[in-house]
Amino acid sequence: MVRVGLERSVSDQIAIEVGRDPWLPSSDAELVDVLHSFTIPLVGIVAQGGQRYLFWCVAGHAAPEQVWAYGMADDPAVDALSAADGPESFAAALRAAAHSSTVFAMATDSRGISVSVVLDEPADFDSVYEIGMRAIQEKIREANEEYETLRRNMPRLPSHITRPTPRPIREESTDR
């Protein structure tokens, strides 16, 4: 969501689709460059709607669950990342390039992106995890409130949807 007073436009925010790989976060995204990878791309550039975006794995690099950040990719930042000649210089270039992450997402290896949020204010390398996780927590809280309202307003909603409970196992009678 764009708030009044922020100098961002909708094009500053990459569109994310649930179920997609974090390095190809929508059906119209194109992977431009992978700048760092392990078993999956971890840092790179993706194009969408005529814009280039930096994506990077914030946490979970080698885990089945990860969190990701996305922000506009400017030429000097991309050039610095491409020119980095070692882990320290790459880390410094990523810290500088990731200065304005605007979208935060959670993903798993098996299901891709499960949830994403547009950050109220751009976050930098050091703050994106905390800000992003708070925003995801808020989104989940709001969804739970909407669910509870729906459940209260629709009393005929089947109970197996509202409260799954295990069914008792029936013992077969051998007496006939």
Tell me the two tokens of residue 108: 């798993």
Tell me the two tokens of residue 50: 């005529």
pTM here?
0.77
Which amino acid, 92?
A: A
Structural domain boundaries, residue 59: 10-153
Query: Hey, is 7 helix, strand or coil?
Result: coil
d(CA 120, CA 83): 32
Query: Number of structural domains, the chain?
Result: 1
Q: Has residue 106 been placed in a domain?
A: yes
Q: Has residue 50 been placed in a domain?
A: yes
Is residue 45 exposed (0-12), middle (13-18) or buried (19+ Cβ within 10 Å)? buried
Q: Has residue 165 been placed in a domain?
A: no
Q: Has residue 161 been placed in a domain?
A: no
Residue carrying the six token digits 């700048």: 35
Q: Has residue 103 been placed in a domain?
A: yes
pLDDT (tens digit, 0 to 9) for every residue of the chain, 176 residues total? 333 333 434 456 899 999 999 999 999 999 999 999 998 999 999 999 999 999 999 999 989 999 999 999 988 988 999 999 889 999 999 988 888 888 999 999 999 999 999 998 888 888 999 999 999 999 999 999 998 998 888 776 665 555 545 555 555 545 54
